[in-house]
Amino acid sequence: MINNPTYRGTVHPWHCDHMGHMNVMWYVGKFDEATWNFFAEVGLTPARMKEIGSGMAAVEQNLTYSKELFPGDTVAISSKVIEAGEKSVRFVHEMTDCVTGALCATCEFKAVHIDAANRKSMPFPEDVLEKLRAA
């Protein structure tokens, strides 16, 4: 488990749909921001990926909604590795309400480390794989 939240933010009125609650596109966006913070914490910063000519590709995503969110609500996302392979990682984000601590949504991903030039999977750098397996 990554100790620090990988995302903290607020639900703004423009995040909400005609039902008055946060629209699904914004859950996905907040989980995406958490993903980039999570990658950075294990050593896959944009600069590092550019340096080694790699990228990350999401190949699977499952989202579960548990609690509606409304304008003014504040949320935190924490991230946890489920499984780390040589070239791919499965991880889950948990979004909680900062005031009540209630679980609002979870999002499980499978992502593959790729060679950015030929778009084929490639092994994680050894230090990154160690951090993923230790997380």
Grouped pLDDT means (10 residues each) for the chain, 135 residues: 81 97 97 97 97 97 97 97 97 97 97 97 98 92
Cβ atoms of 68 and 22 closer than 8 Å:
yes
Sign of the CA dihedral with 106 first, then 97, 36, and 84 last = negative
Token representation of residue 64: 């579960």
DSSP state of 46: H
**Model pTM?**
0.93
Residue position matching structure tokens 């050894």:
126
Please state which architecture CATH assigns to domain 7-134. Answer: Roll (3.10)
Domain boundary assignment for the chain = 7-134
